[in-house]
Each structure stands twice: as C-alpha cells, then as structure tokens.
Amino acid sequence: MAPKKEEEKKGAIEGWWKETIDKILHETGEHPHKALLGSYCVYPAARFITQQQDEEVVLLLRAHPIINVGWILLVILMLLAPGIVVSLGLFAAVPGKFVIVGKLTWYLVTLMYTMERFLYWFYSVFIVTNERIVDIDFENLLTRTITYANLNRIEEPAMITGGFIRSIFQYGDVYVTTASEKPSVEALGVPYPHKVVDIISRLSEELEKRRERGE
C-alpha cells in the first residue's frame, strides 16, 4: 500500500505544479511556445543535465539572437576575403594547387569559427524550472559551468535593460541574488527580461505559499 500512497502523493504534487505553472503563465500573458530562434522558450519539452524527475522546465532562455549579428558579419567577411585577395592578384606568383588548398583551409577555419560561436550561443542557457534556476555556461572548449539557485532561497530577482538596441529588441540582463554566500545567478542579454523576472517572482511566491501551508 505504501508505494501506492507515495505514487498518489507524487501525482498530486505534479498536478498541483502543472496547475500552478498554467496559472502563472496565464497571469503573465504567456503560453507554451518558442520564439526568437529558440532564445525564448516557454514551457518547452527540453530536458537538461541533473534535471529531477518531478522538475518541469518553465522557461529556457538564450541570449537574444541579435547578439550574434557581429560575428555573423565577420563570417560573411571571412567568406568573401579569399575571392577579394585572389582577385587583387596578391597570390599571382603562387602555384594554383597551393591557392586551392589555402582557400579550402580558410573556408574550413571559417566553418570552425561559425560552429564555435553558434555552439557557445546555443548551449549557454538559463533555465527556470518549478523548483530552481539553472545557469549553464560554456567558457571555453570543454569547460562547463552550471550554477543553481533554489527558488525558495532567492532574494529579489532584478533586471537591467536600456540603451537603444536593447530597447528596440527588448532584451536585457536578469540577476537573481540568492540568500547563500554564492554569487548571484545571471542571464545576460535574454529576451523580455521583465517577463522573466515576473515569472521567477511568481514561481518563488507560489513555492513560499506552499511551504507555509506545510505541503
């Protein structure tokens, strides 16, 4: 009987969370969707490392795609460079086979640079679940930093936005300070920071209410 009761309790908690998340999303004018090339995902089906079984991803955020414009322009320039250099006759004295292999190497390096920048952007995510905030950052080739903050231990979530580009494209930085000695968790350049802060505050509030009720 005991495992059955345990299962019922678990089911009730899951049901409560689902209702609560739906309520919060409704109140904040949100619905499950992906926007801005996956940089703003509400209630996605995605999973992440160390995700617990009863944990639901409410928000999955990446830096706003506009942040990538700089390196995309550089890649375009890199793609055009060999054509320009060869047409200027700078390699006229170099045998054709060296020019071809040189060009191919250059394009491969360009592909590598593109992949690196894309991977850093795509896999550096800020996740808000029904229980905690998870910040996954990739600093270099193989270094991964994961920062957690439990929603019932956070102080005040804050956001910073401003500036011409940020105002136009509606993105900014979100900072969540925790009660522990650990530094704050931050999401830099994420879309709709006001909505993110709102959802985090409401989730934290619901968790606090539930704790007060002793559930």
Residues of this chain that interact with another protein (CB under 8 A) are 38, 46-49, 60, 95, 97-98, 100-102, 104-105, 108-109, 111-112, 115-116, 119, 122-123, 125, 136, 138, 141-142, 144, 146
Check residue 49 and report its DSSP letter.
T
Q: How far, in Å, CA of 132 to CA of 88, rounded?
A: 57
Closest to another protein by CB, 80 vs 119, is: 119
Q: Are 48 and 132 in contact (CB under 8 A)?
A: no
Which residues on neighbouring strands pair with residue 171, listed in sequence order?
191
If we measure between CA atoms, which residue out of 13, 59, 63, 62 comes closest to residue 32? Answer: 59
Indicate the residue type of 130.
Answer: N
Q: How far, in Å, CA of 188 to CA of 126, rounded?
A: 9
Q: 203: exposed, middle or buried (C-beta count within 10 Å: 0-12, 13-18, 19+)?
A: buried
Shortest distance (Å) from residue 128 CB to another protein? 14
Shortest distance (Å) from residue 136 CB to another protein? 5
Shortest distance (Å) from residue 42 CB to another protein? 15
Closest to another protein by CB, 77 vs 119, is: 119
Closest to another protein by CB, 23 vs 144, is: 144
Closest to another protein by CB, 92 vs 168, is: 92
Count of residues for the chain? 215
Shortest distance (Å) from residue 93 CB to another protein? 10
Shortest distance (Å) from residue 104 CB to another protein? 6
Closest to another protein by CB, 54 vs 205, is: 54
